[in-house]
Structure 1
Amino acid sequence: MLHACVYATILLGFFGIIFKENLVMKIIAMDVMSTGVIALFVLVAARTGVHTPILAGLPGGDYADPVPQAVILTAIVIGFSIQALMLVGVMKLARDNPTLETQAIEEEYRP
């Protein structure tokens, strides 16, 4: 059931990117899709019965691999920076155009 919710979140973001006309809504849809992808990776990598990889005198056993955790943390930071960069681009477009609808911007564009 949880996998279905995560896949639905990814598809919701994907269809939002394709079908929304407003640029801010496209950015929000991309953020929803990236959140779904990160949740999918966390869901796939989640295991029970593992310890944190810190030397604390615990007896031997299974330890969690820190590399996937670092990759997901990096994906979150990169997603946030891409979202901020896209919002700056939309702010520059909003300065020149009275609307943020993609059709209207494409019609007014003169190279």
Structure 2
Amino acid sequence: MLEAFVLATILCGFLGIIFKKNLVMKIVSMDVMSTGVIAYYVTIASRNGLFSPIISTTSSPTYADPVPQAVILTGIVIGFSIQALMLVGVMKLARDNPTLESNEIEKNNTPS
């Protein structure tokens, strides 16, 4: 059930990227989709019986692999930096254009 909600979040973000015309809304949709993908990896990686690789009182616990955790943290940082870069690009576009609608920006900047 949780996987279905996470996949619905990814789908909502993807559809927002495709159908929204406002550039800020496209960036927000990309962030929603990225959050859904990270949540999907966390959902898949969480299993019963896995312990953190620290000192434990149990005799022989099954330790969780720390490599996927590091990859997810790297993905979060890269996603944040891409989002910040896109917002800076939108701010530069907003200086020259009265609107942030992608159709209007294309119409204004197309050579005739």
- TM category (shorter chain) comes to over 0.9
CA distance in 2, matches of 1:94, 1:13: 23
TM-score normalised by length of structure 1: 0.94
Seq. identity, %: 70
SS of alignment partner, residue 51 of structure 2: coil
Q: What does residue range 5-44 of structure 1 map to in structure 2 within 5 Å?
A: 5-44=5-44
Q: Which runs of 5+ in 1 are unaligned?
A: none
Alpha-carbon distance, 1:54 to partner? 1.8
CA distance in 2, matches of 1:70, 1:52: 13
TM-score normalised by length of structure 2: 0.94
Q: Which runs of 5+ in 2 are unaligned?
A: none
Q: What does residue range 1-111 of structure 1 map to in structure 2 within 5 Å?
A: 1-55=1-55, 58-110=58-110
CA distance in 1, matches of 2:43, 2:110: 47
CA distance in 2, matches of 1:110, 1:16: 25
The structure 1 segments of at least 4 consecutive aligned residues displaced by more than 6 Å after TM superposition are: none
CA distance in 2, matches of 1:46, 1:25: 31
Alpha-carbon distance, 1:96 to partner? 0.7
